[in-house]
Amino acid sequence: MEHLRIDIHGIVQGVGFRPFMHRQVRAHGLCGTIRNSSSGVVLELEGERRALEAFLEELPHKAPKLAVIDRIEPAWGGAIQGYAGFTILPSLVERERNTLISPDVCICEDCRRELLDPTDRRYRYPFLNCTNCGPRFTIIRDVPYDRPLTSMGRFPMCPDCEREYHDIENRRYHAQPDCCPVCGPHLFFVDAEGRRTEGDEEALALARDMLKTGKIVAIKGLGGVHLACSCDDPAVARRLRQRKQRDEKPFALMCRDLDCARQICEVSADEARLLESYQRPIVLLKKRAPGLAHLSENGYLGVMLPYTPLHVLLFGDDIDRLVMTSANLSDTPIVYKNEEALERLAGIADGFLLHDREIQTRCDDSLCFCVDGREYPLRRSRGYAPYPIRVERGRSNLLACGAEQKAGFCLSKGDYVFPSQHIGDLKNYETLENYEQQIAHFERLFDIRPEAIACDLHPDYLSTAYAKERAEREGLPLVQVQHHHAHLVSCMADIGLKDPVIGFIWDGTGLGTDNTIWGGECLIGDANGFERFGSIRPIPLIGGDLATKELDRVAYALRGEAGLETAENPLFETMLKNGLNCPLSSGMGRLFDGAAALLGIKTLASYEGQGAVLLGAAAAEDEAGEYPFEMEGELLRFDWRPMIRAMAEDPADTSRKAAKFMNTLLAMAAEQAEAASHKSGIRDVVLSGGSFQNMYMLQRLPARLRARGLQVYHHSRVSCNDEGIALGQLMILNEAL
């Protein structure tokens, strides 16, 4: 007989870990106890050495699906306690709060079966859930994670649910949000005239009728309200666009199942796995055929599968696909409260399918591509937040404030870094307010008190203003991090790289250390610092910021600089010649914008990065060749003028020219990379920045660089766009202190 204590660190609370261990321990014929600790759980076991060893060996491979085991620490030889059976001890009241909170999880197979089983007491109940599924992050008001501190606090359990809750053999053992039709929340429906209909079945039927007859319905989901409508009728989608003031941004779709998705999109095995993962992100899939332009103007459709019981019932077996877009007006945060929905979506939605379970925390749908078999996140939010990212030698109590247009922050606690959910554009006042509230919420949830702050170098970012104000008020050290350096380190931390790397950091805009706008950068560095090795020839932006919308201004400048005849425009001419309000930008995004305008693909952008997205969508897939280019200067700059001249004379069609334009950038990058590697001896290359949302580039650049003996890495846990920047800022702050 021996005693074995096992400390398990990781995400092992609120995921059904203790009852799972109960079964495992008994299966091995062992006795002992289990209790929660501040960083996980502690098992104390007794039995024969062989049985204990077998248990320990299995442990890393056997865990409930939501658990993430970071570290297992066994300690042999404790005093024999003579345990009888296996006991789950109450959590010790500890000074340090438990670190980890589960994200929201899609409906599990068991719950789905019950939902559709007429003999089950939860048959067709839109809020059923269990230890393996359901809302978490979005219903938590405070920690510890116990029912009274969640939105479920106002729904006392009925005796049947209570019995399940206390039964260790039951799937709903200690499932905080568990409920049933007797004790839980219910649906109601409100029509455009404000008439309210109670009852799950009644409300569902009204909503389904409206959707089937071309109406727009607001539907309350996990982390906010969606606007839903049929996706087969272009007129309905157009009406939704008009009412929502969303001119051209693609709509996301929800498909009833994989087959319904396959009818309109190509779905690989990896993409199917991602669509069906418990995170249920929106996955950008290639359209099967051109068309469906009323949903998306580019070659991709954002598709997700139903993730709540309510969604399953909504689709029934006769609705295949619905537009499901976040309910918000242009750049405001997603609507998440009932009164707010009724008030602000009046005139947009024809009806409202709502319920009385409150959302505590906004959390938009996550958005990603599937690259190399896994997520390539563009927006990391529902299903992922607030899972931390593990880093090495991390310091506690750091705050990184991110950028501005795609805001996101990070907070640290030891080796865990907690990236926020999707926040949005801080220039919108309500978004800024939500940003500040979410920082406070994360600090409370994870018991973090910032002791140092990082932010961008840009003085005008509202996140910088927040950081400066707070650092001053609280007397904390502040580190301002160069934008592209932060992108580079973000990608390193995402992958887990420590040694210096070469980074291609391509995006629209970021303030450089020389006070000019950067964005087509080849950097060498790590969290301790960087060198700007290469870039692109700066582009004069005629009229400054206006040129990010009116793309023909960039096209004009590119042609002018390349010595080509330009369309008659005396104003532009004078501005360009005299450098009047023509700030220089080496942003790769601007070069894409200019090319999109030159090729007549897009001249008036309605959202950031649209030029690049459409250029990518327009590009021919076959080997189209490339244009000539030159490299110039000590700082190895890509001179695009020969390319612009060749492009102007090229008789090829638009799709081939778009491909050749991008191929030229690939060739240029390969030259910069080789030179950077030659100089530094470094062979690892990271790709980051918003321009790498362009799949044409992301899928081709690695092969080009590998052909030159380099190892290439890209993001897989945080976004390559500015949403992911806070992670890099935090790691740089971590080193700077």
Residue 265 DSSP code: B
How far, in whole angstroms, is CA 17 from its chain's centroid? 26
Q: Are 14 and 176 spatial neighbours (Cβ–Cβ below 8 Å)?
A: yes
Q: Is 130 in the site for Zn ion (CB under 5 A)?
A: yes
Residue in 412, 401, 400 with CA at minimum distance from that of residue 461: 401
Considering only the C-alpha atoms of the chain, give the largest distance between any 2 of them, rounded to a whole number of Å: 93
Return the residue of 8, 111, 292, 445 that touches Zn ion, per CB under 5 A: 111
Q: Is 180 in the site for Zn ion (CB under 5 A)?
A: yes
Three-state secondary structure call for residue 367: strand
In the list Fe ion, Zn ion, none, the entry touching 108 (Cβ below 5 to 8 angstroms by class) is: Zn ion
Element (H or E) spanning 41, and its range? strand 40-47
In the list Zn ion, Fe ion, none, the entry touching 111 (Cβ below 5 to 8 angstroms by class) is: Zn ion
Nearer to Fe ion by C-beta: 44 or 507? 507
Shortest spacing between CB 151 and Zn ion, in angstroms: 16
Return the residue of 68, 183, 192, 371 that touches Zn ion, per CB under 5 A: 183
Residue with structure tokens 């030029």? 611
| CA–CA separation, 119 and 308 (whole Å) | 21
Q: How many residues bind Fe ion (CB under 5 A)?
A: 3
In the list Zn ion, Fe ion, none, the entry touching 722 (Cβ below 5 to 8 angstroms by class) is: Fe ion
Three-state secondary structure call for residue 677: helix
Nearer to Zn ion by C-beta: 110 or 297? 110
Interface region with Zn ion, contact rule CB under 5 A, candidates 175-183, 293-301, 438-446, 527-535: 175-183
Shortest spacing between CB 164 and Zn ion, in angstroms: 8
| Neighbouring C-beta atoms of residue 497, cutoff 10 Å | 16
Return the residue of 12, 67, 161, 541 that touches Zn ion, per CB under 5 A: 161
Nearer to Fe ion by C-beta: 507 or 593? 507
Q: Is 723 in the site for Fe ion (CB under 5 A)?
A: no
Interface region with Zn ion, contact rule CB under 5 A, candidates 37-45, 130-138, 362-370, 496-504: 130-138
> What are 448's two structure tokens?
């973090």
Return the residue of 42, 149, 158, 371 that touches Zn ion, per CB under 5 A: 158
Shortest spacing between CB 590 and Fe ion, in angstroms: 13
Residue 573 DSSP code: H
Nearer to Zn ion by C-beta: 134 or 594? 134
Q: Are 468 and 494 spatial neighbours (Cβ–Cβ below 8 Å)?
A: no
> What are 621's two structure tokens?
């897939």
Q: Is 425 in the site for Fe ion (CB under 5 A)?
A: no
Q: Are 104 and 138 spatial neighbours (Cβ–Cβ below 8 Å)?
A: yes
Instruction: Output the CA–CA distances (angstroms, integers) from residue 33 to 24, 43, 66, 83, in the order listed.
Output: 12, 6, 22, 8
Reported in sequence order, the residue ranges of 332-477 that DSSP labels E, i.e. its strands, are 351-355, 367-371, 374-379, 389-390, 398-400, 410-413, 416-419, 452-456
Interface region with Zn ion, contact rule CB under 5 A, candidates 79-87, 174-182, 282-290, 377-385: 174-182
In the region spanning residues 510 to 529, those forming contacts with Fe ion, defined by CB under 5 A, are: 510
Return the residue of 41, 108, 253, 596 that touches Zn ion, per CB under 5 A: 108
Q: Is 182 in the site for Zn ion (CB under 5 A)?
A: yes
Shortest spacing between CB 169 and Zn ion, in angstroms: 16
In the list Zn ion, Fe ion, none, the entry touching 183 (Cβ below 5 to 8 angstroms by class) is: Zn ion
| CA–CA separation, 65 and 18 (whole Å) | 13
Three-state secondary structure call for residue 725: helix
Q: Is 115 in the site for Zn ion (CB under 5 A)?
A: no
In the region spanning residues 454 to 513, those forming contacts with Fe ion, defined by CB under 5 A, are: 507, 510
Q: Is 105 in the site for Zn ion (CB under 5 A)?
A: no
Return the residue of 200, 626, 722, 723 that touches Fe ion, per CB under 5 A: 722
| CA–CA separation, 603 and 588 (whole Å) | 17
Nearer to Fe ion by C-beta: 164 or 507? 507
Interface region with Fe ion, contact rule CB under 5 A, candidates 448-456, 593-601, 693-701, 721-729: 721-729
| CA–CA separation, 231 and 14 (whole Å) | 38
Residues 441-476 as b or e (16 or more Cβ within 10 Å = b): bbbebbbbebebbbbbbbeebbbbbbbbebbeeeeb
Nearer to Fe ion by C-beta: 369 or 416? 369
**Residue type at 76 in one-letter notation:** W
Nearer to Fe ion by C-beta: 350 or 722? 722
The torsion defined by the Cα of 486, 490, 493 and 494, in degrees rounded to 10, comes to 180
Residues that bind Zn ion (CB under 5 A): 108, 111, 130, 132-133, 158, 161, 180, 182-183
Residues that bind Fe ion (CB under 5 A): 507, 510, 722
